[in-house]
Amino acid sequence: MLETNHSNAELAAEITASAEPMQRLVLEVGKALVGQDVLVHRLLIGLLTGGHLLIEGVPGLAKTTAIATLSKAIDADFQRLQFTPDLLPADLIGTQVYRPQQQEFVVQKGPIFANLILADEINRAPAKVQSALLESMQERQVTIGGETFSLPDPFLVMATQNPIEQEGTYRLPEAQMDRFMMKVVVDYPTRHEELQILNRMSRTRQQIAIGTVTTPKEILHARDLVDAVFVDQQIAEYIVDLVMATRKCEAYGLAIGPWIQFGASPRATINLTLAAKANAFLHRRAFVVPQDVKDIAMDVLRHRVMITYEAEAEEKTSEDVVNMILEAIPVP
């Protein structure tokens, strides 16, 4: 448990105060977005940790609306990139343009130089574009003509992919999948939510005004507080056990080895810890509890556990594997 000394009390008070703009952000995004509470929550975790999101869902579930509205509410730059098979790396990061008047090449920066990036249908782009995006996501920088440029901070990539239409798509490399902090599966709205969507959106002209409720500077300050959130040693060991169980399941009494081709990488351990700390921050706590880990574990692990053909033959998914692990590992 968190010690109740003066410094920790001050930290708790500062976290409570700094989490308030995040709650206002949720309410502001809610003006344009019905339902999708999990998606908005994961977007906030991405902002607070600098982690990127892979969103999987059928068309029409407001994935674009979510991140576009978020960018307006935090006064940040937003770019939507439609990934297509003929997209080139220069279309993403920029290129050098020759100016005959000066007789020199000038760097023309691409749309990647924004705070929030929506990479729509990311699996439609070829390998060279995936490689260019990979450097941007991991290094927070791009290289144009031998010159390196830093990307703005905060920088968040939300990539979407359609799970039902695979014609003309490229499978994302495992290395790039691992760069995404979370994979969020967006489902259809409930009947009540769909009725709200009908009442709010069935107009030819939308009159929804989104106000600015926070700034990138406040987001960066909140990140410093997320770093200060306390993680008890028992919870740290719980996180490590969850990840290790995806690699050496027999050591944890799980007979699912034939279903797992590759387990989660050490990056999963880091991401799960950061996401749990951000989840605690959003709940205005200065310390992580086991439920923070359980709440976020599926989104952090589902795309990092590679299943075998045997698992597919038995109609098992990576989500089934993660659920079994969550049920088997004792909660501290």
pLDDT reported for residue 323: 93
Q: Which two tokens stand for residue 329?
A: 């590992």
At the second CATH level, the architecture of 229-332 is Orthogonal Bundle (1.10)
Tell whether the model's pLDDT for residue 168 goes beyond 60.
Answer: no
Backbone angles phi, psi at 212, to 5 degrees: -85, 120
Q: Which two tokens stand for residue 305?
A: 């556990």
The pLDDT mean for the chain works out to: 85
Q: How far apart are CA 295 and CA 284, in angstroms?
A: 16
Per-residue confidence at 48, pLDDT binned at 50, 70, 90? very high
Q: How far apart are CA 308 and CA 166, in angstroms?
A: 20
Per-residue confidence at 29, pLDDT binned at 50, 70, 90? confident
For 153, left (φ over 0), alpha (ψ -120 to 50), or beta? beta
Q: Residues 59-72: what's their mean pLDDT?
A: 80
Tell whether the model's pLDDT for residue 267 goes beyond 50.
Answer: yes
Q: How far apart are CA 36 and CA 62, in angstroms?
A: 8
Q: How far apart are CA 129 and CA 92, in angstroms?
A: 8
Q: Residues 168-186: what's their mean pLDDT?
A: 81
pLDDT cut 90: percent of the chain above it: 30
Tell whether the model's pLDDT for residue 88 goes beyond 60.
Answer: yes
Residue listed under structure tokens 């709200």: 196
If one counts every other C-beta atom within 10 angstroms of the C-beta of residue 297, the result is: 23
pLDDT reported for residue 291: 95
Q: How far is CA 189 from CA 170, 194, 237, 268, in A?
A: 28, 6, 36, 29
pLDDT cut 70: percent of the chain above it: 94
Domains 1-228 and 229-332 share a fold: no
Residue listed under structure tokens 């410093």: 224
- In the chain, where the domains are located: 1-228, 229-332
**Which one has a higher pLDDT value, 166 or 189?**
189
Task: Check if the beta carbon of residue 167 is closer than 8 Å to that of residue 84.
Answer: no
Among 7-21, 52-66, 245-259, name the most confident range: 245-259
126-140, 163-177, 180-194, 199-213: segment of lowest average pLDDT: 163-177
With respect to CATH, is domain 1-228 assigned 3.40.50.300?
A: yes
pLDDT reported for residue 5: 43
Tell whether the model's pLDDT for residue 172 goes beyond 80.
Answer: no
Q: Which two tokens stand for residue 113?
A: 């130089």
Contacts of 201 (CB under 8 A, 6+ apart): none
First to last CA, the chain: 12
pTM over 0.85: yes
DSSP summary character for residue 230 = B
pLDDT reported for residue 135: 79
Q: What single letter denotes the amino acid at residue 106?
A: V
pLDDT reported for residue 37: 83
If one counts every other C-beta atom within 10 angstroms of the C-beta of residue 309, the result is: 9
Per-residue confidence at 161, pLDDT binned at 50, 70, 90? confident
Of 185, 166, 191, the C-alpha closest to 300 is: 185
Task: Check if the beta carbon of residue 115 is closer than 8 Å to that of residue 71.
Answer: yes
pLDDT reported for residue 236: 95
pLDDT reported for residue 235: 95
pLDDT reported for residue 183: 93
